[in-house]
A and B are shown apart, each in its own frame.
Chain A
Amino acid sequence: MTASIFAPPALSARQVYLDGLRDGQLLYQYDELAGTAVFYPREVGPSGDPGALVWRRSEGMGSLYAWTVIHARSGTRNIALVDLDEGFRMMATVQGVQARDLRIGQRVRAAIERPADADPRVVFEVSR
């Protein structure tokens, strides 16, 4: 019996994800055997079969699962966990909102920031 050997992928999952963001798309993976969305990007999903992972594009709509506001000497910032409608969760921040107006369960919409000097990142705005 021969052992299975999986060759390195042409592009890392993180590279595909970042390229998607640069292209204005929030990509996530779906494990077709496990029947579940997967995030953060990875080479092997819960089914254990690398071939079962496919890329999908998120519509960017979700709800606020949890949040906190960090009070630092430099000022305050919020950190959030957002449940995307496609069934995955990611860490992010919610912009344009006061701490007192953050509510678990509120609807949020993704936006992509593409700074010149850093990797792109996903942020959220409260959906009105």
Chain B
Amino acid sequence: MTHPLRARVAVAGIGQGGFPSMPPKASPLDAMALACAAALADAGLRPQDVDGVFAAGLQLFMPTLSLTEYLGLQPRYTDSTQVGGGAFLAHLNHAQAAIAAGLCSVALVAYGSTQKSGAAGFVTHAEANPYETPYGYPGPVAAYAMVAQRHMHEYGTTREQLAEVAVSARAWSRLHPHAPQQEPLSVREVLEARPVADPFTVRDCCLVTDGAGAVVLVAAERARWLRQRPVYLLGAGEAASHRSIAQMPDLATTCAGASSAAAFAQAGLGPADVDVVQFYDAFTIMPPIFAEDCGFCPKGEGGAFVSGGRTAPGGAFPMNTNGGGLSFGHPGMYGIFTITESVAQLRGDCGARQVAGAQVALAHAPGGYMSSQSTAILGTEATL
């Protein structure tokens, strides 16, 4: 039986702004508003049409309120769910429920950051953890480095395999007219780059940029009357397991198994049906683990799965086709861009980086330190 929420809502507009850097003294809200304006224009809608506001941020404490004020919105439904970088995929899940329940009709999902231009002034509202601060714990890079160490220890994943993730990301970004990283990158260059947190070098780590993204969702029947070809939300799923890395039950296995299973169940599809994948790649260890935990390959084989150019342009598993956080941009939280790139691919709008004939896209993002996992599966008209 078809899941009642399958393709109930569709993405009617996407927008990006602020890459790779906003001008001095711009606010994260400025960047977010530019992306929202782009997404609304893309959909052929105006701010007055928005009645559902979904946002999360690192710099903005009450992002839905800030955005509401800035754009003069009048939401009857708001959702500031903050589960880290993948929050926007969780927002898709919540938005489909809210629209189906009649709680809102035009949902705007948005993020904005001035992590780069804000530099010295960049502060997040994350709380300190007294069981981490005595050790100079620097946050995500240390957590994901330890995740990589465990995965290498348990499954024999190699440094070269991780480097391939960065190399493929660069090959994709070179096909993207707006990506800042256009020079080719080799496995050797990744391995010989400046060490950051063992086993990572700086090339295993995402770029630091400004940037903003926005997505407009409406009921599927309404989307058909709007400007763009609708991209349907076929399935979404969420899971969460911990907050701090010391509390993660098994560093080499995430709860993406649960989030992706929920998304596939709603969509009535499986991994073999997916044509293009966007895996959040703040660090090179992430895509191999998500390939495993989302069911694209057996547990432990993610390193081999992403190697040999399989995820690069022309490869059997097109992944992170905008260049990802590694080579396109990473403004603090990246999850919204796994959605915008999925939609762009399914619309056939990707030019040189277009995956030919893509009908089903999977977007997946974690939050925190592999703490939350959120998955969305999107499809074209042909998947209905």
Contacts and interface: CB of A to CB of B under 8 A. Distances in A.
B131 A90 contact: yes
B146 A67 contact: yes
Contacts of B194: 71
Interface string B228-257: 000000000000000011110001000000
B195 A79 contact: no
Contacts of B245: 81, 91
A119 to B, nearest CB: 7
A66 B137 contact: no
A104 interface: yes
A89 B246 contact: yes
Contact of A66 (B134, B135, B149): B149
B198 A69 contact: yes
A91 B150 CA distance: 15
The residue in B131, B132, B153, B194 that gathers the most chain A C-beta atoms within 10 A of its C-beta is: B131
Chain B interface residue count: which class? 20 to 34
The residue in B135, B138, B199, B244 that gathers the most chain A C-beta atoms within 10 A of its C-beta is: B135
Contacts of A66: 146-147, 149-150, 251
Contacts of A77: 135-136
B135 A79 contact: yes
A68 B246 contact: no
A68 B147 CA distance: 9
Given A66-B149, A70-B142, A79-B146, A91 B198 contact: no
A79 B142 contact: yes
Nearest to A71: B195
Interface in A30-87: 40, 65-72, 77, 79, 81
B45 interface: no
Interface string B318-350: 000000000000000000000000000000000
Contacts of A70: 136, 138, 141-142, 196-197
Contacts of A72: 138
A59 B246 CA distance: 20
A99 B150 contact: no
Contacts of A79: 135-137, 142, 146
A45 to B, nearest CB: 13
Nearest to B138: A70
Contacts of A25: none
Nearest to A91: B246
B102 interface: no
Nearest to B250: A65
B149 A91 contact: no
A90 B246 contact: yes
A68 B198 contact: yes
A81 B135 CA distance: 11
A70 B246 CA distance: 17
B150 A104 contact: yes
A65 B149 CA distance: 9
Contacts of A119: 130, 134
B282 interface: no
A93 B247 CA distance: 16
Given A66-B251, A79-B146, A91-B135, A71 B246 contact: no
Contacts of A89: 246-247
B285 to A, nearest CB: 11
B153 A104 contact: yes
A111 interface: no
A7 interface: no
Interface string B122-157: 000000001110111110011001110110010000
Given A68-B149, A90-B246, 9 more contacts: A40-B246, A65-B251, A67-B149, A67-B198, A70-B136, A70-B141, A71-B195, A91-B244, A91-B246
5 contacts: A40-B246, A66-B147, A68-B142, A68-B199, A89-B246
Interface of A: 14, 40, 65-72, 77, 79, 81, 89-93, 99, 104, 118-119, 121
